[in-house]
Chain A
């Protein structure tokens, strides 16, 4: 069959001459096509594991996407990388979603997982190399066919052309021969000036399916004989099932089975509605466990007590304690942020079909490797026996990197010996999330005799995400996600001390769009405004002065300030606030234009965003992701809060967990810095600056600093 070659350190490519006579490079061909969810018919091309790129004799170029499409445009961006180096004809490109397989591991994460705004950063080199390798072999095949030197040949839009004679062979016509050519040991990648797709607003490939209702999300999977399951879970975190009476539930027409699983009681029925009616009829007793008395008030007190502990050192520069002690003037403040739910538009769900010797999963998941491992553990099957089909994700935001919904679906299918679609209600989704950590922050700053900021101390108390998902990474008491956006404070302060007390009240926590920076940037950027205010300095100019050694921060700050008209008076009744942050390899500054009504209602009218995300793959996607990240962060800044009482989440649905709607939507304008730096992330970096930009505008409007989210005045 094929031969394995190594190009670079990480990119393993397998070349196979296949039955249909196509050229196959890289990744794997799944059973399911992307888009409408139809089946990939592939009579003219190869079918063999391990391929990023397949060239069919019909000129169709199939490009694989190993990252989950959750709205961030990755299903368009990654194929653009391969297509560009391949000089493909975009109109002949077909895109497929990859299955769970080692070949698709995200090299920055070490498993197949879409998160941390890494997709383009991780696949920027390997996918381009895969495209360039395919192109080189097609060139070689054409040169051999024409018996001319390769240097006399060039590629253009899905074909090789002989420069001197003008002869032309399409990639499809060359596929058979290309599959027999030796794999080049190294290939040259294009200079950015030669890019044809990268850097251009190629229309998203998933849009047509999404405007006609044809895109298949997790909840849209339909299998022959499929049953629907809902699970009743203990409302108290950590509580266990003590007993249940299923008789009333089983009396509901359409309910098939009711039984206990690890997380609660499963009700399996012929569709959602009978499952829901059956679940509502259950009588269940819980052993509520150690957290039955937990409340938001107790959590705050607990954090206050924990804040008395010294904490682990996340960053120490100079001697902040001594510098503050001898400073002419001191400022201090307590900042607090709440737990937050993700509230993806598509509630959690998963479809599983467990058989004696196999298990198939259809899931809107960010974590294919995790799904595979979870199912392998429950079924006892080898990981290779677990097939994972990634559907479209109705939002992800970090929530879909978890495996709770996969585990439930697999357990239930295994018990009922049938394909089962596990659905969560919105109430399940809000009340059984892995929440953005609540944190308690003590800040202090020392001001020197000439008004210089001489010391900065930031003491963070809160639970750790990594302590649950990746405990070995928590070293010396530091979870780096708990201190990101705080320990990496970019400002030129000679004495800095950032400390962290890991304190977990028992509410499960997880990755939420921009993770630690989602809260830490609010804290640091608002406290910096407090300092600027105390010194009588303009918040923008104050930042500029302190960012001399951080030109990328400074450039986005300048770009946002200039376009927002910083320095000129804002429209009557409005106030501006500014914030900047680097996260996930990118830099974003935002200026918010805000009004505060006499009743204390905050309205955001306009947001000007400037982003430096290095080289841009798709500029319209970057703009869309900034818009999206800002709106997501605005909901958190203005409205969202998960509160706990009697060990239970008090919010349950969009009526009491309100999110931003169109009538509160500001005008957003996005400016992109031209850059030749390697790509940075774009899914998350737009979120951190928005809450502090808005809070700082409110501070300007009211004269009172905002030290707690969501912003509530009066």
Chain B
């Protein structure tokens, strides 16, 4: 049995310890907001937070996150209220939307450690997440917007 904390809930899962966290989230716990896009940590669609740090769930063995706190897109905020989620709506970022969980989770980790990222900081942090619809320009705008709104709040 492996103990997991996902979005503040505790789970005990009886599973092959080598199973990637992604499939425990999607198939065992039933949280499908985290996506499978490549399976080799190349596209970032599966990005979640493990103890606040962004991690690629598709290559993270579930045994390695036992006892750690995992946050998925479903747990990023209550009712979609994270400044990034708001900015994503205002800037009309998503097209197909499939990569956007990974984009938002990566951006959230960026803003958590760097509340006022430069354009270079944004490109550096976000270039691991592929969007085939080409929403990158709007993602940049949305991150800037969210960063500004956070700074205003403070």
How many angstroms from the CA of A620 to the CA of B96 in the assembled complex? 15
- Output the nearest chain A residue to B33 by Cβ-Cβ distance: A213
Q: Which of A208, A220, A253, A624 contacts B95 (CB 8 A)?
A: A624
Once bound together, how far apart are the Cα atoms of A393 and B45, in whole Å? 15
B131 partner residues in chain A, CB cutoff 8 A: 345, 631
- Name the residue on B nearest A625 (C-beta): B95
Q: What are 8 residue pairs bridging A and B, where the CB atoms are less than 8 Å apart in the complex?
A: A71-B96, A272-B23, A345-B98, A627-B137, A628-B95, A632-B132, A663-B127, A665-B136
Residues in A neighbouring B51, C-beta threshold 8 A? none
- Residues in B whose Cβ lies below 8 Å from that of A662: 122-123, 126-127, 129, 136, 139-140
Please tell me which one of the listed residues B36, B39, B72, B137 contacts residue A213 in the complex, with CB atoms under 8 A apart.
B72
Could you tell me how many residues of chain A have their Cβ less than 8 Å away from some Cβ of chain B? 66
A220 touches B127 (CB 8 A): no
Question: Complex: how many Å from CA A213 to CA B136?
Answer: 19
Given known contacts A272-B26, A663-B123, is B92 in contact with A210 (CB within 8 Å)?
A: no
Chain B contact residues (Cβ within 8 angstroms of A): what range?
Answer: 35 or more
- Inter-chain CA distance A201–B92, complex, in Å, is 10
Verify if A426 is at the interface (C-beta below 8 Å from B).
yes
Is B104 part of the contact surface with A, judged by Cβ < 8 Å? yes
Among B27, B40, B42, B129, the most chain A Cβ lie within 10 Å of the Cβ of B27
| B149 CB, nearest partner CB in chain A, Å | 15
What chain A residues lie within 8 Å of B104 (beta carbons)?
Answer: 211
> Measured between C-beta atoms, what is the minimum distance from B87 to chain A in Å?
9
Choose from A215, A228, A620, A653 the contact partner of B27 (Cβ within 8 Å): A228
- Interface residues in B116-154 by Cβ distance below 8 A to A read 122-124, 126-140
Q: How many angstroms from the CA of A274 to the CA of B31 in the assembled complex?
A: 18
Contact B137 A345 (CB under 8 A): no
Tally of A-B Cβ pairs under 8 angstroms = 188
Which B residues are CB-close (under 8 A) to A207?
88-89, 92-94, 97
Chain B interface, >50% SS class: loop
**B80 lies within 8 A of A211 (CB):** yes
Q: Does A212 contact B (CB under 8 A)?
A: yes
Per-residue 0/1 for B57-81: is the Cβ within 8 Å of any A Cβ (1 yes, 0 no)? 0000000000000001110110110
A632 to B16, CA, bound (A): 39
Residues of A within 8 A of B127 (CB): 661-663
Interface residue from B20, B43, B80, B99 paired with A212 (Cβ < 8 Å): B80
Complex Cα distance, B122 from A274, in Å, reads 37
B8 touches A (CB below 8 Å): no
Q: Can you name the residue of chain B whose Cβ is closest to the Cβ of A392?
A: B97
B19 at the A interface (CB under 8 A): yes
Instruction: Tell me if A204 counts as interface (CB < 8 A to partner B).
Output: yes
Shortest C-beta distance, B107 to chain A (Å), equals 11
Q: How far is the CB of A514 from chain B (nearest CB, A)?
A: 14
Cα(A206)–Cα(B35), bound, Å: 17
**Cα A655 to Cα B130 with chains together (Å):** 11
Q: Is the CB of B27 within 8 A of A273?
A: yes
Set of chain B residues within 8 Å of A558, measured between Cβ atoms: none
Q: A253-B16, A273-B23, A628-B135 are in contact. Are A393 and B96 (CB under 8 A)?
A: yes
Query: Quick one: which of B1-42 are within 8 Å of A by CB?
Result: 16, 19-20, 23, 26-28, 30-40, 42
For the complex formed, measure the closest distance between the CB of B61 and the CB atoms of chain A, giving whole angstroms. 11
> Is A425 on the interface with B (CB-CB < 8 A)?
yes
Contact A395 B133 (CB under 8 A): yes
**A653-B42 contact given A271-B23, A346-B35, A663-B127, CB 8 Å threshold:** yes
